């Protein structure tokens, strides 16, 4: 049979679109005809890279679906998660608008008959859409095996019901390791008995995972082998690992142009980093969706300064308009840290920074993309989870790989995150940068970085994972 034609349909949030673009590039580099489905206002996330790869001779393109924001009562420009107005029923409306994409998606599938649809977990209806045309649907969660296994356990066993206080530790049952959480670190949707539209959606997500052709992971076997095995052999899911996807960005341009437009010129940024000694700078960034209380940002600044380390600090609160006012900034902070610190207000070229030899540690919210990018850079991490799967990803770094130390984040919260004191921040940064255990952590991190690189090389575990998936897809349609 001829070449495979695969459609990729990411949820409209940076943490989903960025790895999906990398995945489409990867598939195209292996001879697949790749099409990314998105909405008009999200096209810029993909267009530069797609143009570049198409010019290099790969078969990759974008297909647009109109997003019915106005029809569901959202502002016209609300086509991505970071544009959803806070409060009210904007989130369910956004979900509704996403679900309204099912019909236009079906029209596209009917017309173009791809061999496979890789669609985001947030689009559970995509399985049904693809099934109408006998197209296998793969789910992309953009999360770790560990998080998927742990969430399954939490939903099934509800161990947080057996503790007497919000801060008492409990074990997440039936996992390959003993991993502990507190009730406050579990998502409020999971710990509450209330039926909400969000809870219902997650039920549909789980169901769609069970009835889909399989699940594709941005992970690699050597990183979390016990959890990949558990997911496939105990939970009985079909899964393929093809990551770490960020490693498919090899030159400065690719690394600098992921997601939004950088708020700093990449050469200026590299020049600043070049002026620093190896492993002497701590990089601090919390992904695309973090929303800290102003008092926490103040405390963070004080903690960073108290650590005495050189730093790159990316300041962006979820809503761009919030970060305009910086009343929380300690007086004189920027003058006092001049030369020692580089503040990036807005979007940073994260992978470019992390891969620079001067970076000695990464303070991260443990979003799965950031976690993997830290792994690929071989740097120890200060883990500061906030919400989503982040408290679970933290466990992989701190308890299993032992390449990170926690800052002591206590509560799952996606707005006004607060509660971590400056002393804890300074201590954790010093511990991974210069503390007694820092060399050991660094050498473990470096060993995992080498394994990550090997995984995507020809013959490596992720390389072979993709080969076997592509072989299966070829035979699916040959039969």
List contacts with ligand UDP (CB under 6 A).
Answer: 14-15, 18, 258-259, 285, 287-289, 314, 347-348, 350-351, 367-370, 373
Q: State which residue, 345 or 444, has the beta carbon closest to ligand UDP.
A: 345
Task: For ligand UDP, give the closer residue by CB, 337 or 369.
Answer: 369
The separation between CA 92 and the C-alpha centre of its own chain, rounded to angstroms, equals 22
392: how many CB neighbours lie within 10 A of its CB? 25
Q: Which of 241, 150, 398, 445 is nearest to 409 (CA)?
A: 398
Q: Is 356 a catalytic residue?
A: no
Least Cβ distance, residue 39 to ligand UDP (angstroms): 18
Which CB sits closer to ligand UDP, 129 or 304? 304
Nearer to ligand UDP, 114 or 289 (CB): 289
Q: Which residue is nearest to ligand UDP (CB)?
A: 15
Q: How far is the CB of 378 from ligand UDP (least distance, A)?
A: 16
Shortest Cβ distance from residue 158 to ligand UDP (Å)? Answer: 26
Nearer to ligand UDP, 124 or 259 (CB): 259
To ligand UDP, the closest distance from the beta carbon of 385 in angstroms equals: 10
Q: From residue 135, how far is each of 4, 85, 127, 291, 383 by CA, in Å?
A: 12, 35, 9, 39, 40
Phi-psi category of 313—alpha, beta or left, where left has phi over 0 and alpha has psi -120 to 50?
Answer: beta
CB hemisphere CA count around 427 (13 angstroms): 9
Distances (CA, A) of 132 to 97, 110, 118, 204: 21, 9, 15, 18
**Three-state secondary-structure class, residue 129:** helix
- Rounded CA separation 449/378 (Å): 5
CB 353 within 8 A of CB 312: yes
Spatial separation of the C-alpha atoms in residues 53 and 60, rounded to whole Å: 7
Active site residue 120: yes
φ/ψ (deg, to 5) at 6: -120, 135
**Helices 461-478 & 438-456 angle (0-180, nearest 10):** 30
Mapped onto helix, strand or coil, the DSSP state of residue 120 is strand
Catalytic residue among 22, 120, 254, 355: 120
How far apart are alpha carbons 167 and 158 in whole angstroms? 16
CB of 479 to ligand UDP, least distance (A): 37
In the complex, the smallest distance separating the C-beta of residue 246 from ligand UDP, rounded to whole angstroms, is 6
**Minimum Å distance from CB 370 to ligand UDP?**
3
Neighbours of 371 (CB within 10 A): 28
C-alpha to C-alpha distance for 44 and 331, rounded to whole angstroms: 38
Tell the smallest beta-carbon distance from residue 285 to ligand UDP (Å): 5
Q: Measuring CA to CA, how many Å separate 216 from each of 65, 143, 212, 231?
A: 23, 10, 11, 12
Structure tokens at 373: 């990018």
Nearer to ligand UDP, 350 or 462 (CB): 350
Q: Which is nearer to ligand UDP, 116 or 215 (CB)?
A: 215
Nearer to ligand UDP, 284 or 473 (CB): 284
SS3 sequence, 275-334? Answer: CCCCCCEEEEECCCCCCECHHHHHHHHHHHHHHCCEEEEEECCCCHHHHHCCCCCCCCHH
In terms of CB distance, is 18 or 473 closer to ligand UDP? 18
CB of 289 to ligand UDP, least distance (A): 4
Q: How far apart are the first and last CA of the chain?
A: 10
Give the max Cα distance, the chain. Answer: 69
Active site residues: 16, 120
């Amino acid at each position: 049979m001829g070449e495979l034609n695969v459609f990729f349909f990411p949820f409209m949030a940076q943490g989903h679109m960025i790895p999906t673009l990398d995945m489409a590039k990867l598939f195209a580099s292996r001879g697949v005809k790749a099409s990314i489905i998105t909405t008009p206002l999200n096209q810029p996330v993909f267009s530069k890279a797609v143009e570049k790869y198409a010019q290099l001779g790969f078969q990759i393109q974008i297909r647009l679906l109109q997003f019915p924001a106005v029809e569901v009562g959202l502002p016209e420009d609300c086509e991505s998660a970071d544009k959803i107005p806070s409060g009210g029923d904007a989130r369910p409306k956004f979900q509704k608008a996403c679900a309204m994409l099912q019909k236009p998606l079906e029209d596209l599938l009917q017309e173009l008959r791809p061999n496979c649809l890789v669609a985001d977990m947030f689009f559970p209806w995509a399985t049904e859409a693809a099934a109408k045309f006998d197209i296998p649907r793969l789910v992309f969660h953009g999360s770790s095996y560990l998080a998927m296994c742990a969430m399954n356990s939490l939903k099934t066993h509800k161990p947080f019901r057996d503790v007497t206080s919000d801060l008492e530790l409990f074990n997440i049952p039936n996992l390959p390791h003993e991993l502990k959480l507190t009730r406050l670190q579990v998502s409020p949707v999971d710990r509450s008995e209330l039926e909400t539209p969000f809870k219902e959606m997650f039920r549909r997500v789980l169901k769609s995972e069970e009835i889909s052709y399989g699940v594709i992971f941005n992970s690699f076997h050597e990183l979390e082998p016990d959890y990949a095995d558990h997911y496939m052999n105990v939970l009985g899911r079909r899964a393929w690992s093809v990551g770490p996807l960020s490693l498919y960005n090899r030159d400065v341009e690719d690394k600098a142009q992921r997601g939004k437009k950088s708020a700093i010129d990449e050469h200026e940024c590299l020049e600043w980093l070049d002026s620093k000694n190896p492993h002497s700078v701590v990089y601090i960034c919390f992904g695309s969706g973090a929303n800290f209380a102003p008092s926490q940002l103040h405390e963070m600044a004080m903690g960073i300064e108290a650590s005495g380390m050189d730093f790159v600090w990316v300041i962006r609160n979820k809503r761009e308009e919030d970060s305009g006012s910086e009343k929380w900034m300690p007086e004189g902070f920027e003058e006092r840290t001049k030369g020692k610190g580089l503040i990036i207000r807005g979007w940073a070229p994260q992978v470019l920074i992390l891969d620079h030899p001067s970076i000695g540690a990464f303070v991260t919210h443990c979003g799965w993309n950031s976690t993997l990018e830290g792994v690929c850079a071989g740097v120890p991490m200060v883990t500061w989870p906030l919400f989503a799967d982040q408290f679970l990803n933290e466990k992989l770094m701190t308890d299993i790989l032992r390449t990170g130390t926690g800052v002591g984040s206590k509560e799952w919260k996606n707005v006004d995150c607060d509660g971590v004191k400056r002393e804890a921040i300074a201590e954790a940064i010093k511990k991974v940068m210069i503390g007694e255990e820092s060399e050991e952590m660094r050498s473990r991190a470096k060993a995992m970085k080498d394994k990550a690189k090997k995984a995507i090389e020809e013959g490596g575990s992720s390389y072979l994972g993709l080969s076997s998936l592509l072989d299966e897809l070829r035979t699916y349609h040959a039969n």
